[in-house]
Amino acid sequence: MSENTEQDWALSFDADDQYVDLGKQPAYKVELTLTVEAWIYVNYQRKWAGILSNVVDTLFSKSGYGLLLDGNSGIYFALKPNSVHHIEYLSSGIHTLGLNAWHHVAATYDGDQMRVYIDGTEQAARSIRASEIDYDPENDFAIGRYHDSHSSYYFPGQITEVRVWSIARPQADVKASMHDRLAGDEDGLVGYWPLNEGRGDTVVDHSGSDNQGMVHGATWKDDAIHLQPASTQDKPNWESRYQALQAELDKVKNELAEQKAQNGHLQEEVEQSQQALAEQQTQNNRLQEDLEQSQQALTAAQSECTSCQTRCDQLNRELSQIKQRLTTVQAEYTVLQTEYSRMQDEYTQVKQRLSRFRNGPMILKLRKNYYSVTYIRPRSQ
């Protein structure tokens, strides 16, 4: 099959079940750094529609990477790092991708930063925890379709010049080469499908990985974006690459300086925490001593309380005895008082009788327990 180089071709996807199957190949499973690129012409937006994808995003399974439409007016860069349990979706934002026009879309991942470019301009970036890309479970790589075990979303429009790199290309390089076709032997290029065959149901991988794709239902169109042939491609822009690397180096230096300053603050906080901990330990020791003294005082007080209780019990017994004696004395006193009253009555009677015989002699005889009075009549003279 000969390639038609007179015109700029593209594959048109205008119905469901139209896509290019690239299968499962080791070359697509880049470990840590990545760049994906393509030229696309979008007829209308359809959320999750795959431009280039081997993403799996089901309830229990998540893996892979890809470029997808966001259903609004931009694209998604989808990526599953090992460091998280979900797919990271970085959107280019609203009003970043026009319809019915050709646009170059690209995304990069350098092991820390995700970036999205449209027509060579960075539209979004996100920092994630550094991690390798997760490919478990592994999915078929496809152009024009997102597909997993639960659903499929097909691209509505045209696609050409699809590229996959195992490096994170600087923005300057992405922009410098987006209007040029590649030679296929560029450093880091692991997949390159110009989609410029113009006919047939096979698309050729020009990267040297030799991973051909099978076309399902898509048709060829000859009015794609015009790209410069590889033979007329300009030399790499070493100055822009140097500037990009210098900018990255300056960024790393700034981050190191910030980290050093932050570490200094953290060291001060650690020292303050250690000092506070030592003071707290001293205070705890004092409190422990106070507690021991309080426990000793409590033990002494409990002992004294026991002695007081014993003495109190003894006094209660003595009080009970005194109460018993008092009861006996009160009873005896009552008897004596009764006897006294009786004797008082007898005494009163005696006085009365004596008053009647005041002028006559009498004899007062005292007998046991009572008095007897005998009147003696006087003798006549």
Interacting residues of 234 by C-beta distance below 8 A, sequence separation 6+: 176, 180
How do residues 144-193 score in pLDDT, each as one tens digit?
A: 999 987 889 999 999 999 999 999 999 999 999 999 999 999 999 999 99
208 closest CA partner among 223, 193, 229:
193
Let me know: does 91 contact 70? Beta carbons within 8 Å: yes
Let me know: does 62 contact 134? Beta carbons within 8 Å: yes
120 pLDDT band (50/70/90 cuts)?
very high
SS3 (DSSP) at 204: coil
Q: What percent of the chain has pLDDT over 90?
A: 58
Cα dist. 60→36, 85, 86, 113, 230 in Å?
26, 10, 10, 26, 44
The residue-averaged pLDDT of 230-251 equals 64
The residue-averaged pLDDT of 246-264 equals 82
237 pLDDT band (50/70/90 cuts)?
low
- Position 124 pLDDT exceeds 80: yes
Give the pLDDT score at 238: 53
141 pLDDT band (50/70/90 cuts)?
very high
Could you give the count of Cα atoms lying within 13 Å of 173 in the half-sphere of its Cβ?
A: 21
The residue-averaged pLDDT of 90-98 equals 96
The string over 177-187, giving b where at least 16 C-beta atoms fall within 10 Å of a residue's C-beta and e elsewhere, is bbbebbeeebe
Cα dist. 169→79, 89, 115 in Å?
17, 20, 10
The residue-averaged pLDDT of 74-102 equals 95
Dist. CA 143–CA 181, nearest whole Å: 18
The DSSP result for 35-90, as a single string, is EEEEEEEESS--TT-EEEE--EE-SS-EE-EEEEE-SSSSEEEEE-BTTSSS-EEE
Let me know: does 118 contact 75? Beta carbons within 8 Å: yes
The residue-averaged pLDDT of 361-380 equals 51
The residue-averaged pLDDT of 73-89 equals 95
Across the chain, what does the average pLDDT equal?
87
Let me know: does 201 contact 181? Beta carbons within 8 Å: no
Place of tokens 């590649």: 182
- Position 1 pLDDT exceeds 60: no
Phi-psi region of 198 (alpha: psi -120 to 50; beta: other; left: phi over 0): left
Could you give the count of Cα atoms lying within 13 Å of 71 in the half-sphere of its Cβ?
A: 6
Could you give the count of Cα atoms lying within 13 Å of 298 in the half-sphere of its Cβ?
A: 6
- Supply the DSSP symbol for 356: H
- Position 198 pLDDT exceeds 50: yes
4 pLDDT band (50/70/90 cuts)?
very low
What phi and psi values does residue 258 have, to the nearest 5 degrees?
Answer: -65, -40
- Position 337 pLDDT exceeds 80: yes
pTM above 0.85, yes or no: no
The separation between the first and the last C-alpha atoms of the chain, rounded to the nearest angstrom, is 201
Give the pLDDT score at 301: 87
Name all domains of the chain by residue range, CATH numbers in brackets: 10-236 (2.60.120.200)
H-state helical runs in the chain: 171-177, 238-356
- Position 37 pLDDT exceeds 70: yes
Contacts of the segment 89-93: beta carbons below 8 A, 24+ positions apart: 90/114, 90/115, 90/116, 90/124, 90/125, 90/126, 91/116, 91/124, 92/116, 92/118, 92/123, 92/124, 93/123, 93/124
Handedness of CA 168, 173, 175, 180 (dihedral sign): negative
- Position 93 pLDDT exceeds 90: yes
